[in-house]
Amino acid sequence: MSDDVTQPNAWAELRRLTAARIGLARSGASLSTAPLLQFALAHAQARDAVHEALDEDKLAADLDALDLPVLKIASAVTDRAQYLMRPDLGRQLGQGADSVLAPHRGPYDVAVVVADGLSARAVQAHAAPVLHNILGALRRQDWRVAPLVIARHGRVAIGDAIAARLKADAVIVLIGERPGLSSPDSMGAYLTWQPQPATTDADRNCISNIRPDGIGYADAAFKIVALLQAMRVRRLSGVQLKDESDRLMLEQ
């Protein structure tokens, strides 16, 4: 009889393929020490991401390489604590934003807003490389792109007011998503055709989980550009506009 009392873990090979918590080892009714510590670490990373401040100067320097003017504004929120407690203020332009945007009034085909949202580290890491791919495609199609706008303490709907001030037909808002326990750096892209003060979330298209371990930069840019093209043709967005980018990708 063998002295080896350990059992082979059938989940080990599958766990290597995903960040999802599958087949976690247990000790009685509780998690064993290793997955319990990993869970606590992931929770701490998610909390840190929510409270982390956006390095606007570093982000502006990264975006400046994209050969468009970069404007910096803030929402009506005064600090991070208020941002978490008052979502309504994160949707409004702060003092001084109008004077920053007014000299750059269009018309444009599309405006791009980068907002910290609930994970500044997401846009800090992923906004520039995704925009590099998006702008390359839009320039080849002669889109008129407004100056890039960095919105501190911004929510998705702040893009509506920015697009209106810049006189843009559509707006892309790249924003840090609410951190998950395995994804503290996930970025979302919200696209809206002709945003207005009465625009609702039903009027937006969203591409979520943009990051190297989720939807990669090139694939995300392809989906965003495909949706913009469809918006311009059909002159609508949101639940009325089906995302057909997967089919287009397969046809290429």
Q: Which CATH number is 220's domain given? A: 3.40.50.11240
Per-residue pLDDT of the chain (252 residues; tens, 9 = 90+): 555 556 667 777 888 888 778 888 777 888 888 888 888 888 888 888 888 889 999 999 999 999 999 999 999 999 999 999 999 999 999 999 999 999 999 899 999 999 999 999 999 999 999 999 999 999 999 999 999 999 999 999 999 999 999 999 999 999 999 888 778 889 999 999 999 888 899 999 999 999 998 999 999 999 999 999 999 999 999 998 888 877 777 777
Asked if 110 and 192 touch (Cβ cutoff 8 Å), the reply is no
- Residue 39 forms part of a structural domain: no
Length of the chain: 252
- Residue 232 forms part of a structural domain: yes
Binding site as annotated, residues for adenosylcob(III)alamin: 156, 177, 206
- Residue 57 forms part of a structural domain: yes
Q: Taking the CA of residue 40 as centre, how many other CA atoms within 13 Å lie in the half-sphere pointing to its CB?
A: 6
In this prediction, residue 7 carries a pLDDT of: 66
Task: Domain count for the chain, please give it.
Answer: 1
Structural domain of 62: 51-251
- What is the torsional sign of CA 180, 38, 51, 129? negative
In this prediction, residue 2 carries a pLDDT of: 57
Pick the closest to residue 194 from 230, 237, 251 (CA basis).
237
- Residue 173 forms part of a structural domain: yes
Q: Which residues of 9-23 are buried (b: 16+ CB within 10 A; e: fewer)?
A: eeeeeeeeeeeeeee
- Residue 89 forms part of a structural domain: yes
Q: Taking the CA of residue 41 as centre, how many other CA atoms within 13 Å lie in the half-sphere pointing to its CB?
A: 7
Q: Is 80 left (phi over 0), alpha (psi -120 to 50) or beta?
A: alpha
Asked if 144 and 231 touch (Cβ cutoff 8 Å), the reply is no
pTM of the prediction? 0.88
In this prediction, residue 134 carries a pLDDT of: 95
- Residue 66 forms part of a structural domain: yes
